[in-house]
Structure 1
Amino acid sequence: MNYRSSQHQAASAPRSRVHQDLGRLVLLLLLTVMALPSLVGCNTSAIYGDSAYNPPVYWGRHVVERGETLYSIAWRYGRDYRELGDANNIAPPYRIYPGQVIRLDLRGSRPAGSPNVASSPQPPRKAAKPRPAPKPQPAPKVTRKPDTSVDVSRQTQTVSNINWRWPHVGTVIAKYSTSGKVNKGIDIAGNSGDPVKAAADGSVVYAGNGLLGYGNLIIINHNEHYLSAYAHNRRILVKEGQEVKQGQTIAELGSTGTDGDKLHFEIRRNGNPVDPLPYLPGR
């Protein structure tokens, strides 16, 4: 090999490595651009760190994970499960599968008796702006008051055609609030392992721990308008699809997803949180 040939090879080697590095960089950029459509608008758990996050949510989308149900997804984003299903062409019994994309930027048809759900599509969210406090819900109609001759743990009250009872007899330590420190239900004190009872007859539509901040959670569907939820359980004693009776023990009270033993109890009407106290027998 002569001097000129070896000099040419020495000069071409660095250029070859540069070309390879540039090629890798271009490929990486192309892969990133191709991935962007699948990332833009996808809601993750980071949404809970957003100071403007106050459901209902009408932007982005949700990718279904194992163990989730349409009921739990609708609960997470403050939507009516029927409306969200209609928006995504998911018909009863609302079966979904891991990896399925649920569009949140679309609105379905308005369920009967749900004035807060519109049928027109909503544009994607543009900026993080605090939502105004939701309008107060009208007081529910009590059709049968509780029998005060029995103890509180067994008293029931019929409201909106559902017979309700306390899910736990402990002291209410935090009430429903739509301003200040928002609380979409009530918190009831108790001891770890205390029985948690179904507040009314219904069907278990979610039993798991996939909703951030709720710990071990049970959601029960009572009729086409009402759902109830029982959070922070130590142990769940029922399964999805199981029919339960009012007063049936469905869980053991605990502290999962929170800082102390308590039951967080919610009632939602057409996807909207309502104050549970008017539905439960007075103390």
Structure 2
Amino acid sequence: MMAGMHLRGILVVLLVGLLVACGHSRVVREPRHGSSRVGSGPVRVSQPRYGATAVVKPGQTVYRIATENGITALDLALWNDIAPPYTIYPGQRLRLYPRDGRANAAPRSSRASAPRPPTSRTTPAPASTRVPEAPIAGAPAWRWPTDGSVLSGFAAGDPTRQGVDIAGREGQPVRAAADGVVVYSGSGLVGYGELVIIKHNDQWLTAYGHNRARLVNEGTRVKAGDPIAEMGHSGAARDMLHFEIRYDGKPVDPQAYLPRR
């Protein structure tokens, strides 16, 4: 299943074995009893209701309002700049659509497309069906976040393929793809397992999912190549890294930006 600053407000907090080195501490948080973490059966793909809003009623939660309106809880939070722990108040009016209000916004104007849970795939899409997108100018100098072959590639418009799945072994280092600040380190997004999200500037962020362990806390500044997690299969059927690059919240094809290898 199931990230400029309309994203800044939420991603400052938000929009994840053996230690890589003895100086690192393992950062793995278990969900607390009674927490609002999404359980089984959440909405998998948001259906924005352009122009519509919802007024919060007493006792309602972000998850309840989102699912009642066919929207993922994370999308609803991002569209309304609601930061963890996702507190809302009676009488508050929430948008049920992205801030730009368009269904098919271009990357430079899109503001609120949230990461959606990937599915585990074991074979890459046929090369003949993959049409590389034109890279956006001014992107950071990306590096591959881990070693391994690509199991599943990006597919524009497919909510289950908004990044790449990279094969590997449990405990394998996962590294920052560029300099940045960790804005999320947790396991609260169902479908991503242990997840780390790094903000690189006001437009660009990267997400690293299915880890065995997270080695960084929110607010940590990292350099390209710094170890941030250990590969695993949390939320996946096999050991692998799910890696996404997002521009203004919109997923782009990582293989259009990563160096050839």
- TM-score between both structures, scaled by the size of structure 1: 0.55
Q: Does residue 277 of the first structure (1) align with residue 255 of the second (2)? A: yes
Query: What corresponds to 1:28 in structure 2?
Result: none
Q: Which letter does structure 2 place at the counterpart of 1:225?
A: Q
Query: What corresponds to 1:115 in structure 2?
Result: 109
Q: Residue 206 of structure 1 contacts residue 217 of structure 1 at CA under 8 Å; is this kept in 2?
A: yes
Q: Does residue 77 of the first structure (1) align with residue 75 of the second (2)? A: yes
Deviation at 1:55, TM superposition (A): 4.0
Q: Does residue 239 of the first structure (1) align with residue 230 of the second (2)? A: no
Task: Give the 3 Å change call, closer, same or farther, for CA 57–230 of structure 1 in structure 2.
Answer: farther
Deviation at 1:139, TM superposition (A): 1.2
Work out the number of aligned pairs and report it: 187
- TM-score between both structures, scaled by the size of structure 2: 0.60
Question: C-alpha distance in 2, partners of 1:106/1:260?
Answer: 34
Of residues 196, 212, 220 in structure 1, which corresponds to 2:174?
196
Task: Give the 3 Å change call, closer, same or farther, for CA 97–187 of structure 1 in structure 2.
Answer: closer
Task: Give the 3 Å change call, closer, same or farther, for CA 55–137 of structure 1 in structure 2.
Answer: farther
Judging by fraction of residues, say which structure has more helix. Answer: 1
Deviation at 1:269, TM superposition (A): 1.1
Q: How does 1:1-283 map to 2 (within 5 A)?
A: 45=39, 48=42, 50=43, 53-55=44-46, 57-58=48-49, 63=61, 76-77=74-75, 81=78, 84-85=80-81, 96-97=84-85, 99-100=87-88, 103-105=94-96, 107-108=98-99, 114-116=108-110, 139-141=134-136, 160-178=138-156, 182-283=160-261
Deviation at 1:106, TM superposition (A): 5.7
Q: Residue 181 of structure 2 contacts residue 199 of structure 2 at CA under 8 Å; is this kept in 1?
A: yes
SS of alignment partner, residue 164 of structure 1:
coil
Question: C-alpha distance in 1, partners of 2:166/2:254?
Answer: 12
* Structure 1: segments with no counterpart, 5+ residues: 1-43, 66-72, 119-135, 142-158
* Structure 2: segments with no counterpart, 5+ residues: 1-37, 64-70, 113-130
Question: C-alpha distance in 1, partners of 2:216/2:173?
Answer: 13
Question: C-alpha distance in 1, partners of 2:139/2:155?
Answer: 25
Task: Give the 3 Å change call, closer, same or farther, for CA 74–206 of structure 1 in structure 2.
Answer: farther
Task: Give the 3 Å change call, closer, same or farther, for CA 181–96 of structure 1 in structure 2.
Answer: closer
SS of alignment partner, residue 200 of structure 1:
coil
Task: Give the 3 Å change call, closer, same or farther, for CA 47–272 of structure 1 in structure 2.
Answer: farther
Q: Residue 175 of structure 2 contacts residue 225 of structure 2 at CA under 8 Å; is this kept in 1?
A: yes
> Cα RMSD (Å) of the superposition?
3.7
Task: Give the 3 Å change call, closer, same or farther, for CA 55–247 of structure 1 in structure 2.
Answer: farther
Q: Residue 75 of structure 1 contacts residue 271 of structure 1 at CA under 8 Å; is this kept in 2?
A: no
Query: Which of these two proteins has the greater Rg computed from alpha carbons?
Result: 1
